[in-house]
Every structure is written in structure tokens, then in C-alpha cells.
Amino acid sequence: MKRSIPAWERAVSRRVFLGTGVAAAGFPVLQAAGAAGDRPGNLRVGTFRFDVTPPIGHSLCGGWIRPVEAVDDPLEAIGYVLLGCGKPIVVCVVDWTGLLNTAHIRWREALAEAADTTIDRVTVHCVHQHNAPFACVDAEQIVLEQGDLPHIIELDFFHRCLDRARTAVETALRQTQPVTHVAHGEARVVQVASNRRILGPDGRVASQRGSSSRNPEHHRLPEGLIDPMLKTVALFSGAQKIVASHYYACHPMSYYGDGRVSADFCGLARKERQQQEPDCVHLYFNGCGGNIGAGKYNDGSKAMRPVLTQRMLQGMVASEERLIPEPIDSLKWVTHDIFPPPDRERFDEARIMKQIADRNQRVVSRNRPAYTVAWLRRTAKNIPITLSGLHINRTSILHLPAECFVEYQLNAQRAASDRFVACAAYGDGGPWYIPTAEAYPQGGYAVSVAWCTPEIDPILTGGIETLLAKAESG
């Protein structure tokens, strides 16, 4: 079969070193961009990956589904360290259900320590597979105190992963490559995503389509509001593509709960793309997919996992075929702290702790509320969530928390229509779901496990707008 030639390969002969003052050496001369400390010099990148597969017997998805019995395919943490623009910048994505509160902070601290940078210049995200760990060390402490509940996250395993993270980053810093060009592309993913929340005639949620469904009515209904586009942002060293980050908004589960660890269809597509291009590190980030799943197209059968994998892979390849590298002339890392307001009226700590202590309750009704209490205690200490953005030329990558609804992603793209905007959600998962204000009175599962008040909408929206505004500031 004749190979399709991507746009970046077709264009590279005429553009690859255009505008770089020291092209022959393969290093760009970059103009100052951003605040003091964000003035690019010769950019370099070091990439890393390490295993984060939980051991046999470890809890999955917070301990309320079957624990690890086997590993179908290993879980990875993958990332890169960007040098030459002030203090190092670290971007990492993990094949876990989530990293929340102190657990998320500890990961960022470990990566920052290894890269000799500050925690505000580190972002960590999860792909959100469910046959995977759901790490909240604060919730783990709460369930340990009960004496009869399964682990949220085994702390020895958690700390081993942090040790691997430090080692991986330290190794990456010894094996860096120059970064000269950036490119972006996008392509439609066909028959994967659909909106999970189905509204009835009264405007309230009547049904949830979920990640899978065997209800013919769920399959018949339209996709609803989604972002159908998979976006790719790639870094180049001369003509060589060295990092490709893919962004798509959808819950990434085909089926789960059988005790068999898997990166599932989004992670498997990334792995197959990695095999196709071993000289380029591929990362996959889940976008604002809190209200998005594959339920219209996925019946939850084992046969559908490879089908969904190939649909995702086709989207990745098609997106990359649209890449046209351009010399990097500006790069800026920006941050903005937000303080999401907990809903203490709906979620009373004393009442929840009584429920957690009730041994007549199911495990899910005891472990899951531990995450709520962890959030209530965290917000009482005024520990913020840090939003961040990486702006390279006219490309912006926004790093957002938890399970944001897709509207935040679509609104961000509209707010900066002159820029290419990609969103990575599932950062600090402390708030759990982040619906829009409009969604709260509609009810449904996502609203029931959203630990914040509807005021989170203008707070997060304002934070996103601030990140985008900083892309243009001097």
C-alpha cells in the first residue's frame, strides 16, 4: 500500500528552517516572549515514559470494582521536559483514572524536583481509564481509618511510581534534543463520541447513555453536543517530528470492571501509533469529556474495543497528516490559580463521615464519599487549583482540572478563534465533575457527584479566559 505523505513532510523541504537565524545548526533564534523568566533561548526537549501498572490485587477505580486480577496491557506515564524558556516546563499524562488533591500535588512536586523547576511549571493529567488506579491519598487515609474498606490507592505503590517519575525525568534531562518547529492539525473522529446526558421533555436528565449502552434507543438518538475533532500539537527538531500530543474529549472506556488492567481504546490507539512511529513520542490527553462517552456506538462488548481503537488511531493519523511545521518564534507558559467553591450545603462532612462508617453500606457508598470529604477538607485549607497554558506561536494548549463538561472546551475555542486551542482536562481531579451552571438544575449523575456549587462555571470560565488573554500580553 502506498503511504500517505503527511503535510509536514511535503512542506518541510521549503519551510523547515525558514526564519531561523542559525538554520544550519538546527537551532532557532527565538525572540523574547512572555514575562521575565519566560524568554526563550535555544529550546530543547527531553522525553520520558515509565510503568505505572498496579500490582495484582490492587484496587481499581477507587476500590468499588473488581481489583487487579490480570494485566491485558501495561499502563504508562508519558511526558516531556521543555528547556530554554525560563525554568524547565514539565508536561505529563498518566494512564490512571485520576490524580486528586494531595496525590496530584505530590506528582507535580516529584517531577518539579527532578527537573529542577517549580511546581507551577508542571502539569499532570490522567487519561481516565477505569480499570486503573484512582489516586487520592487523602481519601485513602479516610478509608484506612475505617479498618474494613478496600484501598483507594496503596501508598507503597504510589511512592514507587513517584520514584520512577524522578528517575525518568532525570534520565530525560541527559538525553535532550533541540526543538525548532511547532505544528498543529486536527481531524474528525468518526463514530466514537456522544453526549452522555439525554434530556427529557421537562429539560431534566431522563437517561445517561454512559460509556457503553445496550439500549437501542441510546444508539438511535443523535450524538448531541460533542467536539468531534481530535487535535494534535507536535514539536519538531528540524525535519524530525519528536513529540506529538493528541487531544480528544471522550470517556475512554469500552468496558471495565473485570479486573483486567488496560489502557483501553484511547491508550491502545496511542500505543499503536507509537509502534508506527518509534522515533516520535506520542501522548494522549483526554479533553473536556465529563459529559461525553462512546455510548451511542459502543455496546460494551469485547469486540468493540479494537473497533474503537482503530477509529481513534485513524483520527490521530489524519490529524498528523495536516501538520505543517513553522519555526517557533514565541513560547510562553502561563498560570492562573482558582479556588472552586465546595457545595457544603449538599455535602456535609459530618453526615458523610457517618455514612462512610456505616458497615451496612455498600463499598461504593463508603469509598466514593471519601473523595468528597477529601475535597471539603482541601478547600477548607484554601489550597488552589492551578490552571496553566502553553502558548507556542498561535497554538495554545490549556491544562484544566477534573471532569469538565465539553462546553468549557468549545467555549475556549470560540474565545480565541484566531488561535489553535487544544484542551487537556483531567488534571487535578479533586472537584470530580465540573458541569456548566446550566447543567445543575437538569440533574443527572454528573451533577450528583460534582462537589462544587454552580459558581464553579464563571470561576473556571474566567480562568480559561485569563490563560488565553495572557497568550497575547507582553
Which DSSP string do the residues of 346-411 spell out, in sequence order?
Answer: T--HHHHHHHHH-TTS-SHHHHHHHHHHHHHHHHHTTPPEEEEEEEETTEEEEE--SEE-HHHHHH
pLDDT tens string 314-343: 999 999 999 999 999 999 999 999 999 999
| Alpha-carbon distance values, 70 to 113, 134, 263, 264 (Å) | 33, 17, 13, 14
Q: What pLDDT, on the 0 to 100 scale, is given for residue 41?
A: 67
Phi, psi of 283, deg, nearest 5: -120, 145
- The residue among 283, 416, 285, 391 whose CA lies nearest residue 335 is 391
Q: Which three cell numbers stand for residue 54?
A: 498496579
SS3 at position 119: helix
- pLDDT above 50: residue 2: no
User: CA-to-CA distance for 10 and 424, rounded, in angstroms?
Assistant: 29
Phi, psi of 90, deg, nearest 5: -120, 130
Q: What pLDDT, on the 0 to 100 scale, is given for residue 451?
A: 98
Q: For the chain, give the longest Cα–Cα distance.
A: 71
Question: What letter represents residue 196's amino acid?
Answer: R
User: CA-to-CA distance for 209 and 225, rounded, in angstroms?
Assistant: 13
Q: What pLDDT, on the 0 to 100 scale, is given for residue 8?
A: 39
Average pLDDT (169-198) is 98
- The residue among 398, 242, 397, 238 whose CA lies nearest residue 327 is 238
User: CA-to-CA distance for 152 and 145, rounded, in angstroms?
Assistant: 12
What percentage of the chain carries pLDDT values higher than 70? 91
Residue 282: how many other CB atoms lie within 10 Å:
24
Q: Where are the domains of the chain?
A: 7-331
Beta strand pairing call for 70-71 and 260-261: parallel
- pLDDT above 50: residue 465: yes
CA angle 349, 426, 189 (to 5 degrees): 140
Q: What pLDDT, on the 0 to 100 scale, is given for residue 175?
A: 96
User: CA-to-CA distance for 444 and 252, rounded, in angstroms?
Assistant: 20
